[in-house]
Chain A
Amino acid sequence: FPVVPEKEKEEMQFAKKYLENFYDFKEEKSSLLKRKNLNPMADKIREMQSFFGLEVTGELNHKTLAMMKQPRCGMPDIRS
């Protein structure tokens, strides 16, 4: 079911952990040498949505979150 607003932060943390575990998501540390990706998490969400055949939006929408909450294998879907 859709999330209520106060749960959004919690859901975002959950999604971040999911992407770290299964999509090799790493929070980018600021670096003067590297060009900044403004929204690395959106890129990883896109990658995950693409893998599962979801509509690729880069947004943590209902369907994407629902997919993340499914019981699953602990191996990553992609590797660096």
Chain B
Amino acid sequence: YSTFPLSPKWKKEDVTYRILNYTPDMLQADVEEAIAKAFQLWSSVTPLRFTRVYSGQADIMISFASGFHGDFYPFDGPGGTLAHAYPPGSNIGGDAHFDEDENWTKFTTYNGYSLFLVAAHELGHSLGLGHSNVLGALMYPIYMARDTRDYKLPQDDIDGIQALYGRPKEPPALPTKAFPPQEPTEMTPAEATTEMPPRKEPTETTPSKAPVRPQDCDPHLSFDAITTLRGETLFFKGSYVWRKSPYFSDIEHDTISSFWPSLVAGFDAAYEVDKRDRVLFFKDNHYWAVSGYSIEPGFPKPIQNLGFPTSVRKIDAAVHDENTKKTYFFVGNKYWSFNENTQSMERGYPRKIASDFHGIGHTVDAALQKNGLFYFFHGANQYEVDIKSKKLIRKMKSNSWFNC
């Protein structure tokens, strides 16, 4: 934990707060409850008592605002900075400001930030705590979605606030509960840990060998689709994606929605055209184009736009050959060749997979081009194929990419 320079703190135990305005994102009662519960976190471990006032000057003035809002720290629109608060003091001291451009929610969801969690953090500043570099601490500066049911103040924060104010005079009769049990549809604890996807555990440096989880090494593991993306490789299965990157040695396992919230998971096929910084995802008879995290406008489009007849209802797999600029689409026991330069399907297709790719006598679940080779996945197996000769080199387990 840390405190501000000169460790400013309230010189009294009775601290007042006032909610100046409300966010339209939430019911007023929910805002009030979230703020009250946030204060309760801190009062449960200190001698401090917080009283809400409804008019006049309070020690801690709480407000929602967008952009420039009367201090030297304007907000920045959605994302980025969520809120800020000032250390104890007169006037603006102790005040907490929340960015109205965020979508605030009472609980943690995919579509917003938990006002309870953010308020609890900001009130830590209002009471005199700076940022902690302890991952998981409430005063850690990055927003971390978590399950707020039965939320308890982490020890680092307790140590910090008690260094300023001491322990409570009487131990709390009961453990503080952050919120009553959530509706089950809100978010499961497992989901709660995946809302901020690209973030890695910051305490990890670079382990020599990636930790391998049992589910990654299931010998029966199969994939729906696989693609490269800016040098990384993404393996899709249902709602999840495994992310293998040359930039970090462990394999990430995330929800697809954490990267592309508006895409419907369960892809049939995917491939990258790296020169265009574009990845195409296929599901049923539609496809989407993305560039990094952004979904290109105008999608989804029907796969017939690529030249498929209406009899083709879905794609099994797709792989792009960056040398020839051709993309192969696999549908049943046949494959099609699409010329990315002319954006048209090549004549003479579809052809039987087994006729051209010797040794591949079955459908293809997913396909990948990597290191100058094709990898065709079928169930728990993958087949390494020479791109030029189209000959089978070797057969491996599908999960061989996961350091099992």
Q: Which residues of A contact B (CB under 8 A)?
A: 1-4, 21-22, 51-55, 61-63, 66-67, 69-77, 79
Contact residues in B for A1 (Cβ distance below 8 Å):
198, 229-230, 232, 292-293
Q: Which of B118, B206, B230 is within 8 Å of A4, CB to CB?
A: B230
Q: Which residues of B contact A (CB under 8 A)?
A: 4-5, 73, 75, 79-85, 99, 102, 113, 118, 121-122, 125, 130-131, 133, 135, 141-143, 196, 198-200, 202-206, 229-232, 245, 247-248, 277, 292-293
| With known contacts A66-B199, A73-B121, A73-B122, A53–B232 Cβ distance under 8 A | no
B291 to chain A, nearest CB (A): 8
Bound state CA distance, A67 and B73, in angstroms?
21
Q: A53, A72, A75: which has the most chain B beta carbons within 10 Å?
A: A75
A-B contact count (CB 8 A): 95
Contact residues in B for A67 (Cβ distance below 8 Å):
142, 199, 202
Contact B125 A75 (CB under 8 A): yes
The residue on B at minimum CB distance from A80 is: B5
Bound state CA distance, A37 and B118, in angstroms?
37
Contact B247 A2 (CB under 8 A): yes
Q: 26 A-B Cβ contacts within 8 A?
A: A1-B293, A2-B230, A2-B231, A3-B230, A4-B277, A52-B142, A53-B202, A53-B205, A62-B245, A62-B247, A63-B200, A66-B198, A69-B198, A70-B142, A70-B143, A71-B81, A72-B82, A72-B142, A73-B84, A73-B118, A74-B73, A74-B81, A74-B82, A74-B99, A75-B141, A76-B131
Contact B142 A79 (CB under 8 A): no
The residue on A at minimum CB distance from B279 is: A1
Contact residues in A for B232 (Cβ distance below 8 Å):
1-2
Bound state CA distance, A71 and B121, in angstroms?
13
- 16 new A-B pairs (CB below 8 Å) besides A70-B198, A77-B131? A1-B232, A2-B232, A4-B230, A51-B133, A52-B133, A62-B247, A67-B202, A69-B198, A70-B199, A71-B80, A72-B82, A72-B142, A73-B125, A73-B131, A73-B141, A79-B4
| With known contacts A63-B247, A77-B141, A70–B196 Cβ distance under 8 A | yes
Q: Which 9 A-B pairs have the closest CB atoms?
A: A74-B84, A74-B81, A53-B203, A52-B202, A53-B202, A2-B230, A62-B247, A71-B143, A70-B142
Bound state CA distance, A13 and B224, in angstroms?
38
Q: B113, B198, B229: which has the most chain A beta carbons within 10 Å?
A: B198
Bound state CA distance, A54 and B83, in angstroms?
24
Contact residues in B for A71 (Cβ distance below 8 Å):
79-82, 102, 113, 142-143, 196
The residue on A at minimum CB distance from B248 is: A63
